[in-house]
Structure formats: C-alpha cells, structure tokens
Chains A and B, each alone.
Chain A
Amino acid sequence: MNVQQFEYLVQGAWGTLLLSCLTFVFAGMLGMAVALLRVSPLKPVRHAASSYIQLIQGTPLLVLMGVCFYGPNLLGMNSVPALFAATLALTIQSSAYFGEIWRGCIQSVARSQWEAAECLGFSRLQRMALVILPQALRIATPPTVGFMVQIVKNTSIASLVIGYAELSYNAKILNNSTFEPFLYFGCAAALYFAMCYPMSVWSRKLEKRLNAARGAA
C-alpha cells in the first residue's frame, strides 16, 4: 500500500466522520421530537409516534437509503447529492431508535419527581424542561453514546445504493484495482475500530458510573 492509497482510505474515513456527525445532529433533534411525542398526554399523538418508530424499525436501512435517494426525484429535484440522501436516510432511521431510547429514559425518571413538579404548580412545559429532562439526560447519556457507535457503523451502508464515498466505499475501490482484500478491508476495519471502540468504552464507563450513583442514592 503506498502513501496515496493510504490517503484515499483516510479520505474515506473523513467522509464517514462527516456523515456520522451530520446524522447525529439531525437525528438528535428529530429523535428528541419523536421521544416527546411518544410520551405525549394525547393518545393519537402517542400512537402516531409509535407507528412511525415501528414503520422505520421494521425495514432495513438499505431500503430507506433507496427511498431517500429516488424519492426526492419524484418531488421534482433533479439530482440529489449523495451526502444529502445518505444523511436523510440515516437521520430518519436513527431518529426512530433515539426516540425509543429516550422515551425509556424520560419514563424512567422516578414517578415522584413528576408528582412533585405538579405539586409545585409547574406547567407541563416547565415540568418537562426543568425537572424531567435534566434528570433523563443523565440516564440517557450511556445508551446515546452506545448508539453513536451504531451510527458510525451504519454509515457504511451509504456506499451501497447511494454510492456515497466513505470508508468502506473507498476500501472497495482500492480492492477492485489491487485485489488485496485482507490488506484494504483490514485497514478499513481498523479505522472503523479506531472510531468506534473509544465510544464503546466511554459508554460502558458512563453506565458504570451511573449505576454506582444510583446504587448509592
């Protein structure tokens, strides 16, 4: 492997990082909305949010990628940039998972906290923003970091239908011209590992700390 080829791989890793960060930002916002709708006091809203989650979680990311790649064409957009389509698909998918993860976190805040906030005369909005969400945030950090690992891994799928040039796409291109799969896919795997493993470790550490804090309380 010469320097140019290695640079090409690193370029791919940069594409992976970019797509992961964009996804995390947008999916975070959409996922928060889904989670809040999921705990809404209105039954139809709750049901709508839960059907959204089931609709998204019941289909592979590849199919979502295809829909997001060809769908905008129907609305009159002539060419869809690969990064746009990939971010859209990953955002939709991750928002469903974040919605479900964060709903669990919101609901796991002790019941008495909800009641106490109500007794203090807080409005619904105040109760959510000032009492429940800050506590839910602490519980939510470990699984959120854990899911970020999934996002990084899922970006690899953007190379298939959409052809977004990220790490696994570039590794495949290099392999196609050199036929050294162990070398290039091994290097790609190592780069993915370098991105994901620190987050996995961090997530586990956060979880342990949270468990210790809760055990002491």
Chain B
Amino acid sequence: MNYQFDFESVLSYWPLFLEGAGTTLQMSFWATLAGFVLGVLCAVARSSGPTWLRKLVGGYVEIIRNTPLLVQSYFLIFGMSSIGLRLPIMVGAILALVINIGAYTCEIVRAGIESIHKGQLEAAECLGLTPTQVYLHIILRPAIERVYPALTSQYVLLMLVTSILSAVGANELFGISNSVQANTFRNFEVFIVLWVVYLALSGLVRAVFWLFGQFVFVRRRKLGTAL
C-alpha cells in the first residue's frame, strides 16, 4: 500500500465539520423531543383508545416500521414540493424524522405500558387517585422509566440516521462533508474524520440521556426488579 494519507487538508475544514455537527445535534434534539411526544401519545392511544384509533395508530406504526427512512423522506419531501408545499429543508427533514421516530417510540413505550402490573392500578384506584393521576403517575411514568434504556438506544440511532437526510439536501454533518470531499478529493480521509466525529457525538448523546435519567428518575431501581 503506497497511499499517502493527507488528513491535514481535510482537517483544515474543521469549522465546517463543527457547523455540521451542530446542525446534526439540533435536528436530533427537535426530532427527539417532538418524536417522544408523538410516540407517547400514540402509545396511549394504542393501549387505551377506541378501536378505530387503535387500528389507525397500528397502521401508522406498521407502515413506518416496515419501510426505510430514505423512501419515507423522499416521499414526504419530494411529494410536498410536487403539490406546491415549499417548506424550508430543515423543517421538512425534521418532520420526516419525527414521523419515523414517533412510530418506534410508540412501540417501545407500549411495551412499557403493557409491563405495568394490574395490581398497581387497583391499588391506585383504592387510594382514590383520579383516572388522569393513575395514568400519569402509575402507568406512564414507571412505563417510561422501564424502557428508558431502549429509548436511549433508539435516540442514539436517530442521531446517526439524520445523516440519511443529507440525501434530500439537509446540510448536517454528512451533507456538509460532501463539499469538503469536493474541495479536497480526499474522500477516504473525510469518511475517517466523519467516523470519529459521529463516535464522539453518539458518546455525547448517550451521556446526556444518562444524566437526564439521573435527574428525572430519582427512585431508579435496578431493571428487572419488582416495581
């Protein structure tokens, strides 16, 4: 192998990489936030809504989970512009991510809800809690606490797949690196740099979720112990 590596010319574009990483994190943040809300609402609808709503949400979850994100975002973004709806690319990209991650969140949270023991509900009713209180404190909160590790993995994955949205023109880390490749012709080096940056970002996202969990789930028990 007599290839001369040239990381210097690639690394001299570090402000671009930094900007791209910032955009990636921003997209992930909004997609996580909105996707979590959508997912929890869907999970509640799917486990205790009227039959038609359950079927509707079930259909949404199955369609999203059995088609690739790339095709979903092509469908949404090219489709919207073909009927004259011109959204800023970032809004469209985040919307595609939210629709996608909402379905995955729904399935994870639903599994959490189903794992809540019936005795807990009966006990809460005996204590005279209102149905809303029961839902919030006895079902939803412990359910989310239980599936928190799974949610964390899913949202780290979400951060990584934002790169796919570069295909529809989002200027996040991966999209912005295209211009570095075009300027330096150092494709391989650019991909190695990207690898390192994405590793750092996924470490960061994991750390943030861990820290968040420490504050939100104060009475955290060991997983698998009786609730």
Query: Which A residues lie at the B interface, using CB under 8 A?
Result: 55, 57-63, 66-67, 70-71, 73-76, 149, 153-154, 156-157, 159-160, 167-168, 171-172, 175, 179-182, 185-186, 188-189, 192-193, 196-197, 200
What sequence of 0s and 1s flags, for each residue 50-64 of chain B, a beta carbon within 8 Å of any chain A beta carbon?
A: 000000000000110
A/B interface sample: 17 pairs, CB < 8 A: A58-B160, A58-B199, A60-B161, A60-B174, A60-B198, A67-B188, A67-B195, A73-B188, A149-B66, A156-B68, A156-B71, A179-B82, A181-B79, A182-B79, A192-B66, A193-B67, A196-B65
Partner of B75, one of A62, A73, A156, A181: A181
Closest to B205 in A: A58
Closest to A181 in B: B78
Closest to A189 in B: B67
Shortest beta-carbon distance from A76 to chain B in Å: 7
Residues of B within 8 A of A60 (CB): 160-161, 163-164, 174, 198
Looking at A60, A74, A168, which has the most chain B CB atoms within 10 Å of its CB?
A60
Contact: A192 with B67, CB < 8 Å? yes
Q: Does B202 contact A (CB under 8 A)?
A: yes
- Complex CA–CA separation, A71 to B3 (angstroms): 11
A59-B160 CB under 8 A given contacts A175-B78, A181-B82: yes
Residues of A within 8 A of B62 (CB): 197, 200
**Residues of B within 8 A of A (CB-CB), count:** 35
A182-B161 CB under 8 A given contacts A59-B195, A160-B167: no
Q: Does B1 contact A (CB under 8 A)?
A: yes
Contact: B187 with A70, CB < 8 Å? yes
Contact: A59 with B199, CB < 8 Å? yes
- Complex CA–CA separation, A73 to B1 (angstroms): 10
Residues of A within 8 A of B65 (CB): 149, 196, 200
Beyond A58-B199, A74-B1, A175-B78, 9 additional contacts (C-beta under 8 Å) are A62-B164, A63-B191, A70-B188, A157-B70, A168-B71, A182-B79, A185-B74, A185-B75, A200-B65
Shortest beta-carbon distance from A122 to chain B in Å: 30
Partner of B72, one of A57, A76, A180, A189: A189
Contact: A189 with B71, CB < 8 Å? yes
Residues of A within 8 A of B123 (CB): none
Residues of B within 8 A of A182 (CB): 75, 79, 82
Contact: B71 with A171, CB < 8 Å? yes
Shortest beta-carbon distance from A37 to chain B in Å: 21
A197-B66 CB under 8 A given contacts A181-B78, A181-B79: yes
Partner of A153, one of B1, B68, B163, B195: B68
A62-B174 CB under 8 A given contacts A175-B78, A179-B82, A186-B75: yes
Residues of A within 8 A of B74 (CB): 168, 171-172, 175, 181, 185
Looking at B66, B79, B190, B203, which has the most chain A CB atoms within 10 Å of its CB?
B66
Contact: B188 with A180, CB < 8 Å? no
Contact: A62 with B163, CB < 8 Å? yes
Q: Does B91 contact A (CB under 8 A)?
A: no
Residues of A within 8 A of B124 (CB): none
A67-B75 CB under 8 A given contacts A58-B202, A156-B70, A168-B70: no
Q: Considering the complex of A and B, which 5 residue pairs feature the smallest CB-CB distances, nearest first?
A: A181-B78, A196-B66, A156-B68, A66-B191, A185-B75
